[in-house]
Amino acid sequence: MSGASSLIESFRSAFYADDISSQIELYNKIEQEDRGKFLEVEEFQKFLENMEEYESCNQLLHSDKFQLVTEAEDIKIESTGSGNDFYTRSTVIIPSGVFETLAVLYETDLLGNWVSSIRGSEVLLQPSRFRKLLRYHFSFPWPVSDRECILEFCGIPVHEEAAVIILMKNAKGEKYLGTELPSRREMTQLIVPMGCLYLQILSPQRTKVVFCVNASANIVSST
């Protein structure tokens, strides 16, 4: 097995093991002449996408450009930008441990209990522990009463902050990591170019949760 092929197999193993440290280490070992071979590997393409999205989300999470919209009952909502570049950021302190909080936020069957706009959700694919592909059916007030959204999620630890960032965005194309995407239903798609969920351990029984997203209800195409 050639050096490049061996690195590719090692990279795939680290990818599906959610070992981001090893993925970065292997990425740094890639010789310039072998980079073309790696760019043909779907897992490597997804890694590059996620690293770019991670940097963008990290900047948004710590940005001082957000303006306060409302703050009540320990929930702070902020916004920035306009049009297609409009972002919202919501922050709350949960009186529970990070694993209990993550279990509730990440458990598909519980989502409808705390997000009233969700009418249905299903896991379409889970290629690794911290990667999921989900389909949602949202029902917002008119004129956005029915919206479908197929989202891909990726969890990345932030060790220096005792936190984790869960990246989210619309699944694009016809395949996701080699698996055919299901056909979209006969309803307008909710557009989510980028978003993330940030969970930080403040203490054994206190977790900071920040939800930041750029989303569009896609009203124009539904008229």
* Model pLDDT for residues 97-110, shown as the tens digit of each residue: 888 887 777 665 55
165 & 211 share domain = yes
151 & 211 share domain = yes
Range of the domain at 139: 67-222
Determine the 3-state secondary structure of 114 from DSSP: helix
33 & 11 share domain = yes
33 & 77 share domain = no
> Would the pLDDT of 1 be above 90?
no
Q: Identify the top-confidence range among 29-38, 46-55, 84-93.
A: 46-55
166 & 100 share domain = yes
Q: Helix 3-16 to helix 42-61 angle, to the nearest 10 degrees?
A: 50
Could you tell me the pLDDT band of residue 115, with boundaries at 50, 70 and 90? low
Which of these, 182, 191, 114, lies nearest to 148 by C-alpha position? 191
CATH of the domain at 89: 3.30.530.20
26 and 14 Cβ atoms separated by less than 8 Å: yes
143, burial (CB in 10 Å: exposed 0-12, middle 13-18, buried 19+):
exposed
Range in 8-17, 97-106, 166-175 the model is least confident about: 97-106
120 & 168 share domain = yes
98, burial (CB in 10 Å: exposed 0-12, middle 13-18, buried 19+):
buried
57 and 212 Cβ atoms separated by less than 8 Å: yes
pTM of the entire predicted model: 0.86
> Would the pLDDT of 155 be above 50?
yes
116 & 91 share domain = yes
Q: Residues 140-159: what's their mean pLDDT? A: 82
100 & 47 share domain = no
42 & 103 share domain = no
92 & 13 share domain = no
Which of these, 77, 58, 82, 57, lies nearest to 67 by C-alpha position? 77
